[in-house]
Structure 1
Amino acid sequence: MSLLRSSLLVGLGSIVSRILGFARDVLFAQALGAGPVADAFLAALRLPNLVRRVVGEGGLNPVLVPALSRLEPDEAATMAGDALSVFALVLLALTGLIEIGAGLIALLLAPGLHDDGETLALVALYTRLSFPIVICVTLASIGAAVLNGRGRFTATALAPLAVNGGLILALVVIESGFDLPLAQKAAWLAAASSLAGLIQLAIMAAALLQGGSHLVRFRRPRWSPVLKSLLLAGLPVLAASGAVQIYFLAATQIASFWPSGVSWLYYAERVMQLPLGLMAGLSASLLLPELARRYQAGEHQTLVDAQKRALEVALLLALPASAALFILARPISTVLFERGAFGSADTEGTALVLMALSLGLPFATLAKVLSQTLFALGSLRTALATAFAGLVVTVIASLLLVGPFGPAGIALGVSLGCLAHTGAVILGLSRIGLWSPDAQGLGRLVRIGAATLVMSLGLLGARHALPEAEPLVLAAFCLGGLILYALAALATGAVTRDDWASLTKKSSEPLRPDAGLS
């Protein structure tokens, strides 16, 4: 399958998943609003959502793909079966501990609620009901890594849709057929999330079984150096891959001291995750296997070239997305969330948080792409250290900025953490000789920036002419901005015909050093 077709398939699945996620969060806001119950529910979902997003975006691929790619097909199938079996046992034990210690977990997730025993008890309840999804999505992610390594992307792209689709169905049923208190609605939704995760796992299991024993072969797990490295590296890889999600987890803890802060941060983050999640999924599912193959073949220069071109793709998407989210933050918050229990004050708070988060979107995207090189090389210690540097900056900046700016200050802290993470990754790559900006890349950045400026001016003019926040108006803003950016990108040379030619090359073919976006 060509890189373009693979990218389109994975990208389409990611986009549809994010659209369903938008629909789900719109229904969340309508059903639960942004009060104490919503804060408890969304705080409880932070931990399972952290794991779901990290592994769903290929968080385990950095350790699984390189390890399996070094083995013969039969050995890789056996090792994949061992990994699934051992991870299943470990996750069952972890889930048991979470179920027992949910009260303590609730306090860690939302320390600002320590004086509100009733809300804190709801956090514990919702944690117990929703955490089993972690078992399902993690095992599904291991299966996805196996399929990605064999060039199979269909199930990987479609299976994650089950979670958001299942939650939307649950929300529709609860809202239309039952008149429940807010706390009970949230409890049913927490349980529904675990059931939806089970459906995702079933879809992935069917895809693996369809591939036969050459994909996965089960036996009684045997302790081996490869399996040991997978287990020991699993947690560091998840931490490094999910750096941005960990920053939001820390930000949620700080936001729990602010009324409705958890909810505003959650809803704004969900909007930001649409472009970020797309690039994260493409990076882990497509770029990482490509870089790993080049590194194993000793093609270090082409590895650097592939990294550069991937950065161009990232900036081509991230810069206009960042500008558009900043300019359209208020109409987005109004159209998506302001209905039912979600009031105008919540809209204003969510919009300010979204504006602050949009500033960090390009840096979060760049760090995600650049980290794939560290993962392909097996430099997990460096990847983990760079993620930790961003976490330190996030916490310090959020604590300093929350006083003068409220929850928006916490969001600014997250953006600064993403900036620090990017800088640390670049520094790490420079030390091992894998970071060397070239004139072609810098020229492309200037042209992308010019196209983004043209789009931004157009959106600002349109907002001035049409200030009303209506669904059709917002759709016109988005479509018009996309068309204007595309035209400006073509006019400035940010995108050329050669870029499309390089995209259609087979993913196993080496890239030319002068190839365009890939």
Structure 2
Amino acid sequence: MASKKVIKSSIIVMILIILGKVLALIRDSLIAAKFGVTYVTDIYNFALGIVYLLTTISYGLTTTFIPLHTEHLQKNNEEHKNRFVNNVINVSSIITIIITVLLIIFAKDIIYIFGHGLSKDSKVFDSSIQVTRIMMLSLVFISLQSVVTGVLQSHKEFYEPAAMAMVSNIVYVIYLVFFAVEFGIKGFAIATVIGFFMQFLINIPKYKKLGYGYKLVIKFKDPELINMLKLMIPIIISTSVVQLNLFINRSFATNIYGGAVTVLDFANKINTLAYEVFAIGIAMIVYPTLSELAVKEDKTEYKNSLSQAINIIMIILIPAAIAIAVLREPLITIIFKRGAFNNEALKLTANALLFYCPAMIAYGIRDVLNKAFYSIKDSKTPMVNSFIGIVLNIIINLIVIKYMKVSGLTLAITISASVTTIMMIWNLHKKLDGIKLKSMWNSFLKITFCSSVMGLVLFIINKVSQLTMGTGMKGSLISILVSFLVGMLVYITCIYFANIKEFKYLLEYFNAKRNRVNNKL
């Protein structure tokens, strides 16, 4: 896939994801204001962490489903593809319902083992059990959406899947504004279930428009289904590494101090802003194309698409990571510092966020690398890599948590993510007999240098702003706005002269768009 096509396909997807993230920021700000950094938010974040950890099963289902269904589309067998899709929907729904029931039954034991800090107070423990049981119902809708979005992405329809976060966040914001005071955290758990249902629902119109309908097909022994389930197991393990590491860290955090889980979660939410907007969007778009090129055995175009996707991610995420690290305090002030979220919470979150930022870059690159392995039906390499990352994360946690508290947990994630990403690059390089490593390394050095120049400028602007305007909401807002405008100008100028072709494709695309608008006028 040519770079221009990647960029063009990515623009609307990124806009939809950005809208979702803006609403997510409003949601998180409201959570901080309504509940603060307390055990109440720890309960919700712990329960949500379990849901997100289990969504890796559905993510694995989507990831495995896309290349298999892409082959169906290549063969153009309408009846077979409909039967296969419905069989996957029905079998996965049955399995998910069984898992959900078991999780609801054993919720008490799960919290006691993995969130032991929440079991020390009987009132907190009882509330944790209730919230967790309610939120487990989300898994049914997550399972359904995983197949439906897989179908849409196989057809290279990305807009509805990209809009899912926006739709669910609308539900959360409405609840937090109008109902949080009356119904509290348990009501928010119900709103979360409704949000996941809406994520599923938004995909249905396009799904039906593509010619798919529901049929009661249940064949557990279908050879394609069995093959898909076999491929899913290592994919689930490898794609669960981010959520599993977060879940492990939440378990560690429950024993540090009250609110530690929430500090960890708020730091993670800010750190993943750029990653979730850009890296996930690019990985979503490039995956069906890599799968298609793998089926066609077009190695040259495959390597070009992979290299271009990684370079585009670095162009965006490296400066984003440096900017967030430099401007972490004004960012946290604007997003969270109100209501029950005080200065102490701000400092704790800022310290944790500083050590988290490099992980954003590693996550973004690793997402594309995972897709590359899956597209050539190698799910074992990412799985082994994930095991190494989890073990490394736990070892580092045990060493640093005593001295660095929550900041040690975020440092552990950054180190484990960076090491495993480098390993993935080398493994893929060997497997494909070269993936333009030298070109990507040169791009990395150029982008890092330009981003560092930008970071120095941002540091000066932020210091001047703090000295003249203070560190409150007004000073933070001015610092962010000025830093954004000046920092972007400095970075764009620097990166332009660095002669990175993917950046030039971006400029060409926007210039072409501007010319079309001018011609119409």
TM-score by length of 2: 0.89
Residue 217 of structure 2 aligns to a residue in which SS?
coil
Aligned pairs for 1:216-365 (under 5 A) are 216=213, 218-222=215-219, 223-259=221-257, 260-365=259-364
2:8 is aligned with 1:5: yes
Letter of the aligned partner of 1:245 in structure 2?
Answer: Q
Q: Which residue pairs with 1:97 in the alignment?
A: 102
Q: Which residue pairs with 2:517 in the alignment?
A: none
Q: Which residue pairs with 1:444 in the alignment?
A: 443
TM-score by length of 1: 0.90
Deviation at 1:280, TM superposition (A): 4.1
Letter of the aligned partner of 2:65 in structure 1?
Answer: L
Aligned pairs for 1:127-146 (under 5 A) are 127-146=132-151
Deviation at 1:322, TM superposition (A): 1.0
Deviation at 1:43, TM superposition (A): 1.0
Deviation at 1:434, TM superposition (A): 4.7
Q: Which residue pairs with 1:386 in the alignment?
A: 385
Letter of the aligned partner of 1:63 in structure 2?
Answer: T
Within 2, Cα distance between the matches of 1:361 and 1:307?
19
Contact 2:148 2:207 in 1 (8 A): yes
Letter of the aligned partner of 2:48 in structure 1?
Answer: L
List, as ranges, runs of 4+ consecutive aligned residues in structure 1 with deviation greater than 6 Å.
Answer: 501-504
Residue 159 of structure 1 aligns to a residue in which SS?
helix
1:480 to 477, 483, 486: 486
Within 2, Cα distance between the matches of 1:459 and 1:485?
11
Within 2, Cα distance between the matches of 1:236 and 1:367?
16
Change (3 A) 1:477 1:59: farther
Contact 2:156 2:288 in 1 (8 A): no
Within 2, Cα distance between the matches of 1:503 and 1:390?
38
Letter of the aligned partner of 1:143 in structure 2?
Answer: V
Change (3 A) 1:488 1:173: same
Q: Which residue pairs with 2:397 in the alignment?
A: 398
Question: Which stretch shows the higher mean deviation, 148-157 or 395-404?
Answer: 148-157
Q: What percent of counterpart residues are identical?
A: 19
Within 2, Cα distance between the matches of 1:97 and 1:503?
51
CA deviations on 1:358-378 (whole Å, 9 max, x unpaired) are 022212222112111111111
Change (3 A) 1:452 1:494: farther
Within 2, Cα distance between the matches of 1:279 and 1:407?
27
5+ long unaligned stretches in structure 2: 511-521
RMSD: 2.2
Contact 1:430 1:436 in 2 (8 A): yes
Within 2, Cα distance between the matches of 1:11 and 1:125?
36
Aligned pairs for 1:52-91 (under 5 A) are 52=55, 54=56, 59-71=60-72, 72-73=75-76, 74=78, 75-91=80-96
Deviation at 1:419, TM superposition (A): 1.3
The number of residue pairs the alignment matches comes to 494
CA deviations on 1:380-410 (whole Å, 9 max, x unpaired) are 1111111111111111111211111111001
Question: Which stretch shows the higher mean deviation, 445-454 or 112-121?
Answer: 112-121
Within 2, Cα distance between the matches of 1:199 and 1:66?
26
Contact 1:283 1:368 in 2 (8 A): no
Within 2, Cα distance between the matches of 1:498 and 1:463?
30
Within 1, Cα distance between the matches of 2:480 and 2:402?
32
Deviation at 1:348, TM superposition (A): 0.5
Change (3 A) 1:353 1:283: same
Change (3 A) 1:401 1:129: same
2:168 is aligned with 1:163: yes
Deviation at 1:292, TM superposition (A): 0.8
Q: Which has the higher helix share?
A: 2
Question: Which stretch shows the higher mean deviation, 8-17 or 275-284?
Answer: 275-284
Deviation at 1:186, TM superposition (A): 0.7
Contact 1:399 1:410 in 2 (8 A): no
Letter of the aligned partner of 1:19 in structure 2?
Answer: V
Contact 1:314 1:369 in 2 (8 A): no
Within 2, Cα distance between the matches of 1:341 and 1:261?
15
Deviation at 1:432, TM superposition (A): 1.7
Contact 2:61 2:147 in 1 (8 A): yes
2:15 is aligned with 1:15: no
Deviation at 1:221, TM superposition (A): 2.1
Letter of the aligned partner of 1:488 in structure 2?
Answer: C
